[in-house]
Amino acid sequence: MLQPLIRKQLEASVLGCIIMENLICEVADVLTVRNFNSWGINEDYALIYQSITEMFPTMPIDLITLNGYMNQKHGGNYSFQLFELVAPIASTAHLLQYAFLLVQHDIEDQFKKLLSELNPNRQITKMAFNEIHQMLKDKADVFEVVNSSTDYLSSIGVTEEELEPIIEFQENVLRKIENIKKKSSYKAVFSQLIQMTHISALPQKEKDSLQNLISLFQRLLNSGRVSREQMDLINKLTNSN
């Protein structure tokens, strides 16, 4: 578990980066309101992030628009509080790294809580708890630990009933990771498409298809959601001659 001051600074850095350059689309698939805390009456980071997600993707996010939205919905003036988040930010280059740190520590805390709820009177669950805690203490990748935990717990005799909440947690973590990977793939493809439009010898038909794909990928990156219809359209445009 992160020390409170470090945790608070990490949350503040994420919010500052998002507000500074309207970068919520970078972390919308990674973070939720539950990754933020209310640190005090003038430092309610959970409320700020919730307001950002409510504005996204229909409204641009900056100091003025966010303050106006929060003022209208919750009352009060948040301009100084928001300014204090943005002012220390020299660069937004590490936003995703900050976001992943928040997620990783939250997953670790939730996982430890689930493990602590296993029957404490059984020697086998005590052993499992201590073993996995040691793995996390040794700085093992929390995603890998969660992913391999059910096999390990099952192998030492933890019952299926006891495993149910851990399996559900594992599935949620894997789903989040897949969503993040999917978003990263779209960003890579989007960058390639932009580069291809600069090829002067490209026939007009191919340029038109590329522009359609670019528009579609931009909407995907902004929304963070992919429908079956959108995937069908991507395949159709990609395979057009």
CA distance 232 to 89: 40
pLDDT of residue 241: 44
What pTM does this model have? 0.69
Question: What is the longest distance spanned by two Cα atoms in the chain?
Answer: 73
User: Which of 146, 142, 222 lies closest to 187, judged by CA?
Assistant: 222
The answer to whether 213 touches 236, Cβ cutoff 8 Å, is: no
pLDDT of residue 70: 96
pLDDT of residue 79: 94
Residue pointed to by tokens 């900056």: 62
- CATH number of the domain located at residue range(s) 4-97 in this protein: 1.10.860.10
Residue pointed to by tokens 């201590």: 130
Structural domain boundaries in the chain: 4-97, 99-176, 178-238
Q: Is 181 exposed, middle or buried (0-12, 13-18, 19+ CB in 10 A)?
A: exposed
Q: Is 26 exposed, middle or buried (0-12, 13-18, 19+ CB in 10 A)?
A: buried
**Per-residue pLDDT for the chain (241 aa), expressed as one digit of tens each?**
678 899 999 999 999 999 999 998 888 878 999 999 998 877 899 999 999 999 987 888 999 999 999 999 999 899 999 999 999 999 999 998 899 889 888 888 888 888 877 766 666 667 777 777 777 767 667 777 887 888 888 887 778 888 888 888 888 888 777 776 666 655 555 555 555 555 555 667 666 766 666 666 666 555 555 555 555 555 555 555 4
pLDDT of residue 142: 76
